[in-house]
Structure 1
């Protein structure tokens, strides 16, 4: 065989491979806040080639909060977003809300928590009564505080609320200007330890430990995209599950990938944040039993009722209005042990 004929065969093989390869589907994924280690599964899926293996070209963008990320998906400027599913529930409680649904739950338990200083006399949730609780205006955890307080026999009127911006929440608590703050356990608690507050002086009172049924962050999808490209949605979910496995198996490597994309990220801080998220929000008892990504319908309905204690639904949504499990692979594929 001559060199020329070999070249022709090679060129033909390359052309055939190009024809056989499916064109990649380009999609945008919106996060509702700046990048941190809690988003490691998506970064791992991207850097590990899992999205591209599913014929997806995924680009990340960042919104200012969950409502803005939901709006991007509603408009079609983003096909997917990672948002607080409780904000999506409130979105569905408004008149004429587009039929946006979550298709995968990343945080089986919401990260909502009261983070307090033990030195200020707070060790349990009941101790918050009579104290000063700091909260950011946009803090999603505070929306469920009234329901949590009533559920645990705490009189909200006996808790002084100090409103502040999210940027000064941890500094104000570390300075002793408030006794506790409402926030996310993997943000406020980890940030406070980074500011020099001893772990032994922090009481992290997770809503989930006091009867809150809320799920946390979930992937939502544009309805038109889901209707016309269901296979792409399923492929996206499969890649994310692969990214979760990579993150849990190699958290240090996953954090390195995240920090490399951050502006001024601190590796030790983000590694602690990721380990907190995995232990508290992702690898729960429910997930170990049923697999990652789905919901328990009865629990979800209770979570909607808890939101309704402090939010007036124009029309109360059901679990089926908010979550669509048809894009999930079988439970055996979603099991994480």
Structure 2
């Protein structure tokens, strides 16, 4: 009996050691989002809660952000291994900080969510109506950074547009109060936030920049390249798990949002589910993604986007698109397909 007990105890210790070894082998990841925990953040938490990151040996901590530019310096300094950021802002950052250790490895917003959201009751029925009006724009906003390309592509006279710098918390309230006639912002954010403040949906005109001659890509997963070089499997694993989280969210948006709510208890499930559904419909599950899977780029369009960026941003150095994005870490097993 004693001998059997000793064997059982030894087996228990062995299994305990094995479990501890597995836990110790998990790679800790800090992931910086572009914005707070709203509907489009839910797929990242689905990847956590549904075990997709864990299956790749990753323990991922997700932190909210303060705008589309926010994650870039966090990743460049190495404080975060991964982030979620605007593609054009990455190009500008690398031009201004040559050699900074960041690159995009997975396109998530195949179309930029950047939009002009205006009040029809204040005369904003088409882009040209911005002339003579007040446009509210947060300086760190990714949508505002794309506005010059929109203006160039559509022949807007920007000298006739009064740009009012606004904060993120005051952007939609100022639009709702009529203090500005339109704002720059992500379509699903500014539209829903303004409607929630009592402005009827039929009074809001949402003009997605991608539908008005802007060839840019939207937000992408970025990685610290020093980390990536030393942890190639972890980068591919992160991409694979993230794609599964988005796939889960596309199948059941409400369930994904319900999983996020404990991280932001004041949020409204129905509102954030609608926000996620709009993001999936307008910028994530595009025709290109349906045909090719998420994460990659179309080479011709990417080239056009760089040329368009050159029209409104003066590069200090020759553009190096291969430094802004790489598909080298994308999984090749079909896991990116929707």
* TM-score, with structure 2 as normaliser: 0.92
Match of 2:81 in 1: 79
List gaps (5 residues or longer) in structure 2. none
Q: CA deviation at 1:327?
A: 0.7
Match of 1:225 in 2: 227
Q: Distance in 1 between matches of 2:134 and 2:21?
A: 64
Q: Distance in 2 between matches of 1:83 and 1:117?
A: 28
Q: Distance in 1 between matches of 2:111 and 2:80?
A: 25
2:103 alignment partner, one of 98, 101, 104: 101
Q: Residue 316 of structure 2 aligns to a residue in which SS?
A: coil
Q: 1:331 to 1:232 in 2, by over 3 A?
A: closer
Q: Deviations over 1:137-160 (max 9, x none)?
A: 222212222221121122212222
Matches within 5 A, 1:235-254: 235-254=237-256
Instruction: Report if the CA contact (8 A) 1:135-1:182 is conserved.
Output: yes
Q: Deviations over 1:214-251 (max 9, x none)?
A: 11111111111111110111111111011111111111
2:327 alignment partner, one of 314, 325, 328: 325
Q: Residue 334 of structure 2 aligns to a residue in which SS?
A: helix
Matches within 5 A, 1:145-160: 145-160=147-162
Match of 1:143 in 2: 145
2:33 alignment partner, one of 31, 34, 40: 31
> What is the aligned length?
336
Q: Distance in 2 between matches of 1:211 and 1:311?
A: 17
Q: Distance in 2 between matches of 1:177 and 1:55?
A: 50
Q: CA deviation at 1:110?
A: 0.8
2:282 alignment partner, one of 280, 283, 293: 280
1:193 alignment partner, one of 192, 195, 199: 195
Q: CA deviation at 1:175?
A: 1.4
Q: Deviations over 1:127-186 (max 9, x none)?
A: 323322221222221222222112112221222222222221111111122221111101
Q: Distance in 2 between matches of 1:68 and 1:132?
A: 26
- Aligned residues: CA RMSD: 2.1
Match of 2:59 in 1: 57
Q: Distance in 2 between matches of 1:62 and 1:16?
A: 35
Q: Distance in 2 between matches of 1:64 and 1:145?
A: 19
Q: 1:138 to 1:263 in 2, by over 3 A?
A: farther
1:206 alignment partner, one of 198, 208, 215: 208
Q: Distance in 2 between matches of 1:64 and 1:126?
A: 30
Match of 1:4 in 2: 5
Q: Distance in 2 between matches of 1:249 and 1:243?
A: 10
Q: 1:47 to 1:120 in 2, by over 3 A?
A: same
Q: Distance in 2 between matches of 1:112 and 1:168?
A: 18
2:291 alignment partner, one of 289, 304, 310: 289
Deviates further, 164-173 or 189-198: 164-173
Instruction: Report if the CA contact (8 A) 2:69-2:142 is conserved.
Output: no
Instruction: Report if the CA contact (8 A) 1:95-1:314 is conserved.
Output: no
Q: Distance in 2 between matches of 1:146 and 1:103?
A: 26
Match of 2:259 in 1: 257
